[in-house]
Amino acid sequence: MIGRTLALLQTNLLLANLVLTFRGLFRLPGFWVPTILFPAMLYAFFGAQTAGEGAQAVYAAASFAVYAVLGVAFFQFGVGIAEDRQSAFAVWQRSLPGGPAPLWIARLCAALVFSTAAVLLVLATAYLVAGLSLDPETQLRLLAVCLLLAVPATFMGTALGYLTSGHSAVAIANLVFLPQAYLGGLWVPPQSLPAEIETLSHWTPTRHMGEVAWAVVGAHPIPTASLFALAAFTAGFIALTWIAYHRDRRSRFS
């Protein structure tokens, strides 16, 4: 009976956080609309022009789809958390029982929704601007993979949000986000990177995100090394988020 009651309370708390998260985001279109539009716009201006045709064009679209997921995680949630932490409501909310899990799950669900919109917009732009037409099965596989990649990307952004202040979050996010996109081969194919940079890229999460997406659209086996690397990065980002959250909580409430 007690276990069922606790489960019901956790479910209600999760639903409340979901409603709060989505309402807060939809009331700020100036915050989330550019995040969704920017990857597609960048692809239209640069990616579609330099990708060429055939397999390269398909890989470029997959790269910018991964880039879109990263943008949602970093700027919609990483920066958003850093700014929310300064509000009195966020301080009050964190004083409530229940722990951080319902809020993190709600933010992850929101990330999946907005990542879906961003990826679909990139694919639509690829069709309209570059005439790239992927078969429905490939599009679904790419979308499914991007939603899986949204998990490590979201917790990367969440950790950033708890480690930075609202004043510095945007600058630090750019310092992390832009080099990650370049090093991971999302703007320039890895084989076109300088040799030293290409070697370094294997140590970044974005390179392994790209490898998974490129394998899916190219109908190749997903590299096992990339799957293990992403699992390790995901565990590391969740642990970093947990540590940063409790450090911030102690500084506020102890």
Record the pTM. Answer: 0.85
Q: Is the pLDDT of residue 6 over 70?
A: no
3-state secondary structure of 226: helix
Q: Is the pLDDT of residue 51 over 70?
A: no
In this structure, what token pair is assigned to residue 195? 């040799």
Cα dist from 122 to 50, 98, 217, whole Å: 15, 38, 14
Q: How much is the mean pLDDT over the chain? A: 83
Residues 118, 227, 37, CA angle at the centre, nearest 5°? 10
Instruction: Give pLDDT, residue 208.
Output: 95
pLDDT tens track for 110-144: 888 888 999 999 999 888 887 777 888 888 999 99
Indicate the angle between helix axes 205-217 and 55-71, nearest 10 degrees.
140
Q: Is the pLDDT of residue 94 over 70?
A: no
Q: How far apart are CA 94 and CA 96, in angstroms?
A: 5
Q: Is the pLDDT of residue 164 over 60?
A: yes
pLDDT tens track for 204-241: 999 999 999 999 998 888 999 999 999 999 999 999 99
Q: Is the pLDDT of residue 162 over 80?
A: yes
Instruction: Give pLDDT, residue 39.
Output: 87
Q: How far apart are CA 219 and CA 208, in angstroms?
A: 16
Instruction: Give pLDDT, residue 243.
Output: 93
